[in-house]
Each structure stands twice: as C-alpha cells, then as structure tokens.
Amino acid sequence: MNDDATLTAGHDRRSFLGYFTAIGLGGTLLPGVLWARAAGGEEITAATIACAEEISGLRFTDEQRQQMLDGLKNQESQIEQLHAIKLDNSVAPAVYFDPVPPGVTLTLPTKHASVRSRVSPRTVPRDLEELAFLPVTELAELVRRRKITSTQLTEMYLGRIKRYDPVLKAVITLTEERARRQAKAADEEIARGKYRGPLHGIPWGAKDLLAVKGYKTTWGAAPYRDQVIDVDATVVQRLDDAGAVLLAKLTPRVARRPARRRPRPRGWSASRSARRRSAPSRHHPHATASPDSARRSAGCRAPAPWRSRGRWTRSAPSPARWRTARSCSRRFTDRTTWTGR
C-alpha cells in the first residue's frame, strides 16, 4: 500500500465521528471501531477499513474505501492547520456579546460602601481546626480583631488539605509558597493598621480554570496537564488586591449523576421536596457529591459567606412549583384533587 492510502491518528474525536455522520454512517459501528484503532496509534488504511467492515457488518468497494481515506486525510490536514495557529490566552472567544453600542459610554451607578455583617464575638479555641467550618464573616472578624492571624489560618487549612486530599482528590496544584507569602504580608499590613476588607487574610481556593502566574493551568483536561499561562486571571488579581490568600488550584466541578425518579408519597408537598433536595447524597444514594462540596465538608477551605444559615436563604414555593407538585400528585397517586399543605 502506498503512502497515499495511509492515515495517521492525528484526529479530533468529535470531527472524526462527525465526518462519518455526514456520509451517513454515524449510526453504524464503523466509526467507533476505526476511532478505537486510531486512538491506539494504529494507522488507518484501506485494509483497516476492510477489517472494521467485518465487525460492523458493512461492505464497501475499494473505490468507496479510498474516498473515505481521502475525506479523513483532508479533515486531518484542516485540523493541523487550525492547531498551527497559536492564540494567546488573552484573545477573547469568537462569540462575544456586548450590549453597549460602539462609541457609547454608560454612566455607571455610584458604588455604596459595603455594610459589615453583625457577628457575635467568638473566642479562639486551643485547637484551631475547630474554626475550619466557620463562614467567612466570622473568620474575617477574628482576623480584623487580631484574635487570630492569617498565617495561623493558612497553616491550619494547608494541613487539612495535605491530610484529606489523598482521599478527596480535590487539589490539582498546591500553591503553598504563594499562600505563606500572602499570609505573612496580610499579617504585616493588619499589624500596621491597614485592613483591606472582609477578605483580607482569608484563605481561598481557585478552580484550575483560572490562570495563576508561575503555576500550571490544566483546565481539568489531560491534554493541558503541563500548560503554564504565566499571567494572573482577573479574578485572581482582584482577590489578591482584596488581600485573600490563595491556597490551591482545585479540580473543576463534575456533574452529578441524575437521581432515580421515584413515585411521590401521599401528602407530598413541594416545600418538603425542596428541603430533601438540599441533601441529595442522603436521600439519593446514586447521587455523587461534587469535589467542591467535598472540600467544604472536609473543611479544607473557608465556607463562602452565602452558604451560611439564615432566613433570607430560604425561598418560598412559587406558583409554578405548586403546579408541578399538583401534576406529580395526580400522576403518581389516585387522588384527583390537590390537598397539599
């Protein structure tokens, strides 16, 4: 077989399968069989296609096999041309929406001073790990009143990460030196009377979608495991300006597996169902918690202030929710009228 009849495995899977869909073979086993061989490093030739035909139950002529090879080689060439264009991380995506017409400057409203939450005084325990699950509002107050230092908080959370991450697998890159440096600077500023705000000296974790200078940015994907974007993302810059302490770059959130739907019991109400959904892993054993919730549960970083308990976090059932409840009740029970409480 000559070189024109061979094809290397340099393909994008989506484009590879899309090509076979375009020629009417997307619903057969042929694309999957060929992709498995290509992903394993095997060259795709006319003979490879002939072998895949036996598995997929199809038959092609030599001319048709050559047409497939020509199409795949053309696709491979287009992908290589795209990969040859190097785009800087600062280049905005092609799909970009800006509602402001060109040349128009909007008058932004005046920013009001932030209102500090009222936090009851708390004594610092001997075991600092008792503070691991406190919300940011209480941790910030302890730091502001100098009852605890940012360095103490940072060392406590770093210790918990090293202890629990081998099980949780929530950290991709530990920014230990950067964290200690930031914590020390925060303590020195607070000691001089310069307090930047409620995030000053508070440890936090960034998902590995955000670039941090001097550290890898993997985007949670194997092809970018060694990628280094030597700039700080805007989010990182703003939190640095607020005095926050970056502990680690964390795994991106993964999707939960959908819980199995079950018939609603008699007397079911939407409000009780909403409360049950707040703890899916307890009521639905098939639902898996995300790494983000695992980090909070293990106390490896400070909980966000909006996660703390309070009346304002509870939402009243909307009319649409009650209509959904009524529909479910009529579907899964013998009742024809709704008597939900």
Q: 133 and 241: one domain?
A: yes
Instruction: Encode pLDDT of 96-148 as tens digits.
Output: 788 888 889 888 888 887 777 788 878 889 999 999 999 999 999 999 999 99
Give per-residue pLDDT as tens, 150-190: 999 999 999 999 999 999 999 999 999 999 999 999 999 99
Residues 240 and 151 in one domain: yes
> In this predicted structure, what is the pLDDT of residue 162?
96
Cα–Cα distance between 39 and 41 in angstroms, integer? 5
Residue 21 near residue 75, CB atoms below 8 Å = no
265 closest CA partner among 333, 340, 341 = 333
| Residue among 170, 163, 249, 154 nearest 203 (CA) | 154
Higher pLDDT, 67 or 206: 206
What mean pLDDT do residues 275-295 have?
Answer: 46
315 assigned to some structural domain: no
Task: Note whether 40 and 135 are same-domain residues.
Answer: no
- pLDDT tens sequence across 200-255: 999 999 999 999 999 999 998 888 889 999 999 999 999 999 999 999 999 986 54
Q: Examine residue 285 and state whether it is found in any structural domain, yes or no.
A: no
Same domain, 67 and 132: no
Distance CA 334, CA 264 (A): 12
For residue 262, being part of any structural domain is answered with no
- Report pLDDT for 4: 37
Residues 137 and 242 in one domain: yes
pLDDT confidence band for 28 (50 / 70 / 90): confident
Percent of the chain with pLDDT over 70: 70
Domain span at 198:
128-250
pLDDT at residue 309 greater than cutoff 60: no
Number of domains in the chain: 2
